[in-house]
Structure 1
Amino acid sequence: MRLKRERIFRAASDLMRERGFSAVTTQEVSARAGVAAGTLFRYAATKSELLLMVYNEVLRSSIAEGAEHAASTPEPAAAIVARLSPLVAAAAREPENSAAYQRELLFGPHNAKFRAEGMALIFELEASLADTLRRAAPALSDEEARVAGSALFAITHLAIARMSASDIPEIDAINDLRLQVTQIVTGVVHYTPGGRIGR
């Protein structure tokens, strides 16, 4: 079973990278993987589920790369940019597939296995961003840190969406991300209870 899943994963990954999500069919994936269509659907019930299965691994790898870069970056805004930049870089390599992946994460069926897996990765990333903010601003409540962590992922999501929608170069998307992260982190670090910005 594991070998069949790996063959399906590799076939779907290669075909989507070569031709883009919209041009690939499940029949082509099953043929390249050397499995029957019914077997493929036991692992991923739809083409969208195949996309989620493949790009969850891209997301997981990008998150791990960002964590590695951030570990040696003490300044909080720079550490968060280091965590998020690999997500933008990965999306820039395959903008059509990245846009489709984001769409499926946001709007796909709630009971889909691979969508739930992808959302869990995002929630873990947001929690790690909240932890970074909490260390930089110890007075921040758990809820305030959670909301700020979600905002940081939201601007990353928009940076990725803008690249696929309007051909913004990766370097510009990352520079915009850096500016927005710095603004959010500066606001959070100088935030005082009651909603006032400290001096």
Structure 2
Amino acid sequence: MAVASRPVGRRERNKQQKLERITAAARELFAERGVDEVTTQEIADRADIGAGTLFLYAKSKGELLLLVQNSTYADALARGRSAASTITDPLEAVMAILRPVVECNRKQVDNGRTYLREIVFGDPEEPHHRDALALTVETEQAIAEVLRRDERVDGDQAAALAHIVSAIMFVAMAATNNAAEPVDAIVEQIRGQVRVLLRA
């Protein structure tokens, strides 16, 4: 006999609604002015909650950025995986996974670069940081799946290559000298390095 799911209580609905308002407010303000120019008080005001309540959902502005960017990253990764599923060439399949991730990271370059910094240096005990780290693991798993299609590449080798590809992508997106580069230039830079890696 199947267990009927319980209806969500009022308290949980209120928490979810507040989280949605916080996410929307942070997304709008970060897109308008960039994460560095926005205060947590402005986000709380736009979400129509107190600053103390805001910190129950995210303990810092960095965590708020992770909250906002994680959903965009997850959507980009899903699109990339879907595109890669029909591509037989390993390099092109890997790039099909990476391109949407680069695009979402470059929508607002400073926010994207700050997001990467938060992933690397943020507090892994914070929930939104854990979610971001999980997305990087999922990205590597998607790349490894593509590389394992080649019967000459075993599971360990595919995982190691995927980790290197992920590092290449992160450095290309985060590098200061790439800050003004458009998406196509970043993608081509990554493609060139991944091509050399896969031929080695």
Q: Compute the TM-score of the two structures, normalised by the length of structure 2.
A: 0.88
Q: Hey, what does 1:159 align to over in structure 2?
A: 172
Q: Hey, what does 2:18 align to over in structure 1?
A: 4
Q: Hey, what does 1:50 align to over in structure 2?
A: 64
8 Å CA contact 1:163–1:169 kept in 2: the answer is no
In structure 1, what is the Cα distance between the partners aligned to 2:108 and 2:140? 23
Are 1:186 and 2:163 matched, yes or no? Answer: no
Are 1:90 and 2:104 matched, yes or no? Answer: yes
Query: Quick one: which of 109, 112, 128 aligns to 2:126?
Result: 112
Amino acid corresponding to residue 117 of structure 1 in structure 2 = D
Q: Hey, what does 1:190 align to over in structure 2?
A: none
TM-superposed CA distance for 1:169, in Å, is 2.2
TM-superposed CA distance for 1:165, in Å, is 4.7
Q: Hey, what does 1:99 align to over in structure 2?
A: 113
Where in structure 1 do 4 or more consecutive aligned residues deviate above 4 Å? none
Q: Hey, what does 2:189 align to over in structure 1?
A: 176
Structure 2 spans left out of the alignment, 5+ residues: 1-14
SS at match of 1:111: coil
Task: Tell me which moved more, 11-20 or 66-75.
Answer: 66-75
Q: Hey, what does 1:67 align to over in structure 2?
A: 81
Amino acid corresponding to residue 133 of structure 2 in structure 1 = M
Deviation per CA, 1:106-147, whole angstroms, max 9, x where unpaired?
Answer: 0011211111111011111101211211111x2433222111
Going from structure 1 to structure 2, the CA distance change for 1:58 and 1:93 (only over 3 Å counts) comes to same
TM-superposed CA distance for 1:164, in Å, is 7.0
Please report the RMSD computed on the Cα atoms of aligned residues, expressed in angstroms: 1.4
8 Å CA contact 1:12–1:54 kept in 2: the answer is yes
In structure 1, what is the Cα distance between the partners aligned to 2:155 and 2:174? 29
Deviation per CA, 1:144-177, whole angstroms, max 9, x where unpaired?
Answer: 2111000111111112113775412222111112
Are 1:144 and 2:157 matched, yes or no? Answer: yes
Structure 1 spans left out of the alignment, 5+ residues: 188-199
Task: Tell me which moved more, 94-103 or 154-163.
Answer: 154-163
Q: Compute the TM-score of the two structures, normalised by the length of structure 1.
A: 0.88
TM-superposed CA distance for 1:80, in Å, is 0.5
TM-superposed CA distance for 1:11, in Å, is 0.1
In structure 1, what is the Cα distance between the partners aligned to 2:87 and 2:53? 46
Amino acid corresponding to residue 185 of structure 1 in structure 2 = L
In structure 1, what is the Cα distance between the partners aligned to 2:156 and 2:199? 18
Are 1:134 and 2:155 matched, yes or no? Answer: no
